[in-house]
C-alpha cells in the first residue's frame, strides 16, 4: 500500500523545491489548515453547540451574519495573525481590511478570505465552505499596508484554495503548479492527499444556476441555459446547491459550469471578486477550466474596492466556450 501523504508533508515538499524561500508561505498554508480543522469541528457540532442561527448583526454585504460566520472569521484572523506570515486580512465579514501584528508592517503576504461561504445553509445541514486567496504585499516590509496591497488582479495570486465542509471535509488548493485535494481524517486530525492533480473532465454536462434569476439574466445567458435544457445529450443535468464551494467542487470533479450572471438591475451580479471569484478562477484555470465575467478572464480583473462584485461563469472550458458562442450569436 503506498504511503499516504499528509498536507503538511506536501506543503514542506513544495517548499523544498524552492530552497531560497523564507518558509512564510509554508507557515501560512499550515495555519489555514489548522483554522480549517477548528472551523470544521464547530460546523460538525453546530446543532449541538447552540451556535446555529443568526446573530443580530448585518454584515458589510448587507447579509444577516450567522453565528458560525463570526466564529470562522475570528478563528482565521486569530490563527493567521499569530503565524506572523500575514500582514493583513481582507474578509467578507468586515468592511475594511484588518492589520495583523505590528500594524501590518511585517508579514510577507496578505490574505483575502470568505470565512464561511454559503452560511445561510448551515441551519439546514447543507455543505458550506471557506475560500481563500493569497497575495504578496506590494508595500515594502516595515511600512503600513494600504488598499493597494489587497486590490491586486487574480493573475498575481501566490496561492488560492477552499475548504469544503461536506460529507467529508476537504482542502483543495493551488500555488500555480496544479490543483491538489486533501481529505481530513477526523480520527487523526490530519488532511491526507486524496485528489492529486485535479483536472476538470474533458466534457461536463452539469449547469448550476439559480433558476429564479433567469428572467433577469442577459439574453446570451438565457440562450445558453435554453440550450442546456433542450440538448439531445441525455447526460445534461441541472444541479444547484446554493453553496458556491459545493457547486464548484462537484463541477470540478464531474465537469460542469456554475453561473451567477449579471442581472437586470444588478449588472455586477452577487459574488465577490477578491475572495470568491478570483481564488476559484485561479483553481479553475490550474485545473484546465475557465473563469470569466461578461468581459473576459476573471484573473485579469483589477479590483476597484475590497467588496467588488462581478458576474461569474466558471467551470469546464468547453461550456464557457458554448456560453461565449451565445454572446456572439445574433439576438433575434
Q: Which is nearer to ligand P6P, 125 or 210 (CB)?
A: 210
| Total residue length of the chain | 332
In the complex, least distance from residue 146 CB atom to ligand P6P, rounded to whole angstroms: 27
In the complex, least distance from residue 241 CB atom to ligand P6P, rounded to whole angstroms: 7
In the complex, least distance from residue 221 CB atom to ligand P6P, rounded to whole angstroms: 14
- Which residues would be at the binding site for ligand P6P (CB under 6 A)? 117-118, 120, 210, 242-244, 247, 270-271
Set of cell numbers at residue 232: 439531445
In the complex, least distance from residue 272 CB atom to ligand P6P, rounded to whole angstroms: 8
In the complex, least distance from residue 300 CB atom to ligand P6P, rounded to whole angstroms: 22
- Three-state secondary structure of the chain: CCCCCEHHHHHHHHHHCCCCCCCHHHHHHHHHHHHHHHHHHHHHCCCCCCCCCEEEEECCCCCEEEHHHHHHHHHHHHHHHHHCCEEEEEECCCCCCEECCCCCCCCCEEEEEEEEECHHHHHHCCCEEEEEEEEECCCCCCCCCCHHHCCCCHHHCCEEEEEEECCCEEEEEECCCCEEEEEEECCCCEEEEEECCCCCCCCCCEEECCHHHHHHECHHHHHHHHHHHHCCCCCCEECCCCCHHHHHHHHHHHCCEEEECCECCECCCCCEHHHHHHHHHHHHHHCCCEEECCCCEHHHCCCCCCCCECCEEEECHHHHHHHHHHHHCCCC
In the complex, least distance from residue 66 CB atom to ligand P6P, rounded to whole angstroms: 11
Q: Which is nearer to ligand P6P, 22 or 55 (CB)?
A: 55
Q: Which is nearer to ligand P6P, 11 or 70 (CB)?
A: 70
Q: Which is nearer to ligand P6P, 25 or 46 (CB)?
A: 46
Q: Which is nearer to ligand P6P, 112 or 145 (CB)?
A: 112
Q: Which is nearer to ligand P6P, 199 or 210 (CB)?
A: 210
In the complex, least distance from residue 70 CB atom to ligand P6P, rounded to whole angstroms: 16
SS3 (DSSP) at 205: coil
Q: Which is nearer to ligand P6P, 270 or 317 (CB)?
A: 270
Beta bridge partners of 25: none
Amino acid at each position: 500500500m503506498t504511503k499516504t501523504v499528509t498536507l503538511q508533508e506536501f506543503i514542506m515538499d513544495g517548499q523544498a523545491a524552492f530552497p531560497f524561500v523564507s518558509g512564510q508561505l509554508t507557515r501560512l498554508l499550515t495555519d489555514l489548515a489548522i483554522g480549517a480543522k477548528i472551523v470544521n469541528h464547530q460546523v460538525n457540532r453546530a446543532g449541538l453547540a447552540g451556535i446555529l442561527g443568526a446573530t443580530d448583526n448585518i454584515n458589510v454585504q448587507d447579509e444577516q451574519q450567522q453565528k458560525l460566520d463570526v466564529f470562522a472569521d475570528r478563528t482565521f484572523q486569530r490563527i493567521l495573525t499569530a503565524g506572523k506570515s500575514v500582514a493583513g486580512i481582507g474578509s467578507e465579514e468586515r468592511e475594511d481590511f484588518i492589520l495583523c501584528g505590528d500594524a501590518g508592517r511585517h508579514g510577507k503576504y496578505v490574505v483575502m478570505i470568505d470565512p464561511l461561504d454559503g452560511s445561510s445553509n448551515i441551519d439546514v445541514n447543507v455543505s458550506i465552505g471557506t475560500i481563500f486567496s493569497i497575495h504578496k504585499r506590494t508595500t515594502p516590509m516595515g511600512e503600513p499596508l494600504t488598499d493597494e496591497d489587497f486590490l491586486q488582479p487574480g493573475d498575481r495570486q501566490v496561492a488560492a484554495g477552499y475548504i469544503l465542509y461536506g460529507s467529508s471535509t476537504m482542502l483543495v488548493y493551488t500555488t500555480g503548479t496544479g490543483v491538489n485535494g486533501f481529505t481530513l481524517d477526523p480520527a487523526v486530525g490530519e488532511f491526507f492527499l486524496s485528489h492529486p492533480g485535479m483536472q476538470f473532465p474533458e466534457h461536463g454536462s452539469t449547469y448550476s444556476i439559480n433558476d429564479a434569476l433567469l428572467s433577469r439574466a442577459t439574453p446570451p445567458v438565457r440562450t445558453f441555459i435554453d440550450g442546456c435544457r433542450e440538448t439531445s445529450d441525455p447526460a445534461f443535468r441541472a444541479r444547484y446547491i446554493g453553496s458556491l464551494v459545493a457547486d464548484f467542487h462537484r463541477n470540478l470533479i464531474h465537469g460542469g459550469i456554475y453561473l451567477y450572471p449579471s442581472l437586470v438591475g444588478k449588472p455586477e451580479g452577487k459574488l465577490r471578486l477578491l475572495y470568491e471569484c478570483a481564488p476559484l478562477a485561479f483553481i479553475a484555470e490550474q485545473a484546465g477550466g475557465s473563469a470569466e465575467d461578461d468581459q473576459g478572464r476573471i484573473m485579469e480583473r483589477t479590483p476597484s474596492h475590497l467588496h467588488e462584485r462581478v458576474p461569474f461563469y466558471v467551470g469546464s472550458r468547453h461550456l464557457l466556450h458554448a456560453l461565449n458562442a451565445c454572446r456572439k450569436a445574433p439576438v433575434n
